[in-house]
């Protein structure tokens, strides 16, 4: 598996222009959603003259097979070949679906990710995971297929609202937890009420470096890459439940609440330090509030966790921590322990 080239830039257009000059391709395609088509595509339009522009509906609820078929058909109708190149310009939905379209069209064409949200910068666009949802199950269909390059541009950080910065920051907190005490502390010291975007750019690149180092060790998630799933067993279950009920929450918010629950499990099963649990909980509670579920939802959340891709032999598996950076993968928990975890999250 090849590794992605990560490029951090304050000059998006010049960086993309230089990158495209390095590439050999017969046709260029640009994939956007309906929002990034209006707000972001003009920033690169000058350097993608002659490209075929494919636009898809925005929102994770559209990350499904019908949208994927729309992209495939556009590639086919415009005579894309195995020597064509695609640029995915958007958030995690666009980079996930666009990457999977590239992975599967003619058994694989090359692509570049230009993530436009913080969440996509630190998570979806790096690491080579691509995919779509199946019904309301998150990322149930996909492939490991890394981009040729990922451009991290400060131009988009300045445009993000508070909620979307917070959503991406949850994945960064996760990266700090699986990294070092110093990395984790720097994140919890970042003041979301007085955002320092230059400081945030530095934290973003530190977060990406943490993820890339783990991916290099285990590209196809057979072992240590499962560390990146911390907070996601519960997080994905809650995200799916909220989607089914027509009140979808941002992915990072679900992950933040998942981190609270799985750090609690880490404490009771792996002796994760209570003071670090409390510090993380306090930061998350102030920034993300509390999830909207009750004890009547426990059975539904448990059933959704049974669909998690980490599960083995029908047992729900978690990534837990004994301490910051001390990762424990493939850990199990009883139904009673999981319900106790849900009590903790809801009551916290």
The model carries a pTM of 0.92
Residues 23-44 pLDDT 10s: 999 999 999 999 999 999 999 9
Residues 216-259 pLDDT 10s: 999 999 999 999 999 999 999 999 999 899 898 999 999 999 99
Angle between helices 298-305 and 335-347 (to 10 degrees): 120
Least confident among 60-64, 271-275, 307-311, 326-330: 307-311
Q: Closest by alpha carbon to 148, among 128, 130, 124?
A: 128
- Which ranges of 123-246 does DSSP label H, i.e. alpha helix? 154-157, 162-177, 181-188, 197-217, 232-244
DSSP string, 13-77: HHHHHHHHHH---S-EEEEEEHHHHHHTGGGTGGGSTTPEEEEE--SGGG-SHHHHHHHHHHHHH
Q: Closest by alpha carbon to 291, among 336, 338, 240, 337?
A: 240
**What domains can you pick out in the chain, each with its CATH number?**
5-157 (3.40.50.1970), 162-347 (1.20.1090.10)
- Go through 194-216 and write b for each residue having 16 or more CB atoms within 10 A of its CB, e for each that does not: eeeeeebbebbebbbebbbebbe
What 3-state class would DSSP assign to 290? coil
pLDDT at residue 195 in the model: 85
Q: At residue 2, does pLDDT exceed 80?
A: no
Q: At residue 158, does pLDDT exceed 90?
A: no
pLDDT at residue 199 in the model: 93
Report the percentage of the chain scoring pLDDT > 70: 99
Cα(325)–Cα(179) distance, integer angstroms: 5
What the block records as the tokens of 22 is 């390095």
Q: Is 64 left (phi over 0), alpha (psi -120 to 50) or beta?
A: beta
Q: Closest by alpha carbon to 87, among 110, 104, 64, 118?
A: 110
Cα(145)–Cα(1) distance, integer angstroms: 8
Name residue, tokens 């209570």.
274
Instruction: State the sign of the Cα–Cα–Cα–Cα dihedral 20, 25, 26, 27.
Output: negative
| Average pLDDT rounded to a whole number, residues 155-170 | 92
């Amino acid at each position: 598996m090849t590794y992605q080239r990560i490029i951090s830039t304050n000059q998006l257009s010049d960086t993309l222009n230089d990158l495209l000059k390095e590439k050999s391709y017969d046709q260029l395609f640009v994939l956007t959603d309906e929002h990034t088509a209006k707000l972001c595509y003009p920033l690169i339009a000058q350097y993608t003259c002659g490209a075929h522009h494919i636009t898809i509906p925005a929102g994770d609820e559209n990350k499904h097979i019908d949208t994927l078929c729309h992209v495939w058909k556009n590639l086919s109708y415009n005579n894309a070949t195995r020597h064509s190149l695609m640029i995915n310009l958007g958030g995690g939905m666009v980079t996930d679906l666009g990457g999977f379209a590239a992975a599967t069209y003619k058994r694989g064409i090359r692509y570049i990710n230009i993530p436009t949200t913080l969440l996509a910068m630190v998570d979806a666009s790096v690491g080579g995971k691509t995919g779509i949802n199946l019904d309301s199950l998150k990322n149930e269909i996909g492939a490991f297929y890394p981009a040729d390059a990922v451009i991290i541009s400060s131009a988009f950080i300045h445009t993000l609202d508070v909620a979307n910065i917070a959503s991406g920051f949850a994945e960064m907190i996760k990266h700090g937890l699986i990294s070092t005490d110093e990395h984790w502390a720097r994140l919890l010291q970042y003041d979301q009420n007085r955002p320092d975007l230059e400081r945030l750019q530095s934290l973003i690149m530190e977060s990406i470096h943490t993820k890339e180092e783990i991916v290099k060790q285990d590209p196809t998630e057979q072992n240590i890459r499962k560390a990146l799933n911390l907070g996601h067993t519960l997080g994905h279950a809650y995200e799916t439940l909220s989607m089914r009920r027509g009140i979808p929450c941002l992915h990072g918010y679900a992950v933040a609440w998942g981190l609270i629950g799985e750090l609690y499990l880490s404490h009771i099963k792996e002796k994760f330090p209570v003071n670090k649990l409390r510090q993380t909980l306090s930061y998350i509670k102030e920034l993300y509030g509390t999830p909207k579920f009750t004890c009547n939802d426990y059975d539904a959340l448990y059933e959704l966790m049974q669909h998690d891709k980490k599960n083995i032999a029908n047992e729900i598996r978690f990534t837990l921590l004994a301490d910051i950076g001390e990762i424990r993968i493939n850990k199990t928990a009883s139904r009673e322990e999981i319900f106790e975890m849900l009590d903790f999250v809801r009551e916290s």
